[in-house]
Amino acid sequence: MRTTSLFLLNSILLTGLAGCAAQPTLVRSVLFVSRTRADATVNIGRNIGSDATPEFSFTNIPAPLPPNPFDVALNNNAEFTLVTGSLASPTGGSLDVLHDGKVPQNGDDPGHNFFFKDATAGGRILINLKRPINIRQFNSYSWQNGKRAAQCYTLYGSNANSSGNPPSQTGANPVSDGWTIIGSPVDTRGLMPLDATPRPRDVTSSGGQYGVSISSSGLIGTFQYLLMVISQTDASDPQSNTFYSEVTVIEAPPGFLILPQSRNAETAEQKKYTEMR
């Protein structure tokens, strides 16, 4: 029997509130929508023990494999750039491993994960999707046997400014620079007690495999650029930068925007990949 834990971390529905646009389900174009928060729900899946396998199969989160044909981050479809922070080179993988359609083979496979250098607080990654994308889902996956498993980041989206560039990515508050925050900050540490002394590094307390899926009943936004502001999982532990295994950005199928919400169903092909399996 699977022991996968299911968690619904947050459900953010701010439609109609200041700074939040209504769901763009009846308009043909939502390019360059101006708002400070995109409606989205953050769902978290975790596998531990024998359930953590290279299949990355969660009961409530879409699996990263096989690669989703609607994933616009895959391979060269997107450019991943390190904005701040240092690579854990040569131990860890480059930014390329975040969108190569591959996953680690076990809970201690640094070469197939991207992670920031030890004794650093994390960093920022810019994802250029190369054109404004109607984003259905943003998913991130991690796997490690200890404190490098949990995920702590905030996701922002933007389109190009009048100069054809993304907003500044280095400000203390990206929203002030023009970024839209997408959903609530991701923090899976609730599944990972940090107050035990000595700190346990066993798989049942902190390690394992995590899948995070940010989505909504419609789009989470139309963005060309995404910014991940990533933190280490334990500021007191120099070896707590997360092993990120894969990131997927799922584009909505054609016609998704122009149907009424109740009929805004995905195609059968899309559904295969955006639902859990």
Which residue, 102 or 201, is less far from Ca ion as judged by CB? 102
Strands 186-187 and 40-47: unpaired
Return the range that interacts with Ca ion (CB under 5 A); candidates 42-50, 76-84, 98-106, 221-229: 98-106
Does the protein bind Ca ion through residue 246 (CB under 5 A)?
yes
How many residues bind to Ca ion according to rule CB under 5 A? 4
First-last CA distance in the chain: 16
Shortest gap between Cβ of 227 and Ca ion (angstroms)?
20
Shortest gap between Cβ of 275 and Ca ion (angstroms)?
21
DSSP letters, 6-35, are EEEEEEE--TTSTT-PPP--S-S--TT---
Does the protein bind Ca ion through residue 102 (CB under 5 A)?
yes
Shortest gap between Cβ of 269 and Ca ion (angstroms)?
23
The whole-angstrom separation of Cα 113 and Cα 210 is 13
Does the protein bind Ca ion through residue 94 (CB under 5 A)?
no
Does the protein bind Ca ion through residue 97 (CB under 5 A)?
yes
Return the range that interacts with Ca ion (CB under 5 A); candidates 14-22, 159-167, 221-229, 246-254: 246-254
Residue 166 token pair: 């993304």
Beta strand segments in 99-207, E:
122-144, 152-158, 180-182, 186-187
Return the range that interacts with Ca ion (CB under 5 A); candidates 20-28, 47-55, 116-124, 239-247: 239-247
Burial 102-122 (b: 16+ CB within 10 A, else e): bbbeebebbebbbbbbbebeb
One of 7, 36, 84, 100 touching Ca ion (CB under 5 A)? 100
Shortest gap between Cβ of 63 and Ca ion (angstroms)?
13
Which residue, 246 or 266, is less far from Ca ion as judged by CB? 246
Name, in order, each residue with C-beta under 8 angstroms of 176's C-beta and a sequence gap of 6 or more.
none
The whole-angstrom separation of Cα 21 and Cα 35 is 6
Return the residue nearest Ca ion (CB atom).
246
The whole-angstrom separation of Cα 44 and Cα 247 is 14
The whole-angstrom separation of Cα 38 and Cα 30 is 13
Which residue, 67 or 178, is less far from Ca ion as judged by CB? 67
H-helix or E-strand containing 273? helix 268-274
Does the protein bind Ca ion through residue 71 (CB under 5 A)?
no
State which of positions 180-219 bind Ca ion (CB under 5 A): none
Does the protein bind Ca ion through residue 67 (CB under 5 A)?
no
The whole-angstrom separation of Cα 148 and Cα 150 is 6
Which residue, 97 or 125, is less far from Ca ion as judged by CB? 97
Does the protein bind Ca ion through residue 109 (CB under 5 A)?
no
Return the range that interacts with Ca ion (CB under 5 A); candidates 2-10, 26-34, 154-162, 244-252: 244-252
Residue ranges in contact with Ca ion by CB under 5 A:
97, 100, 102, 246
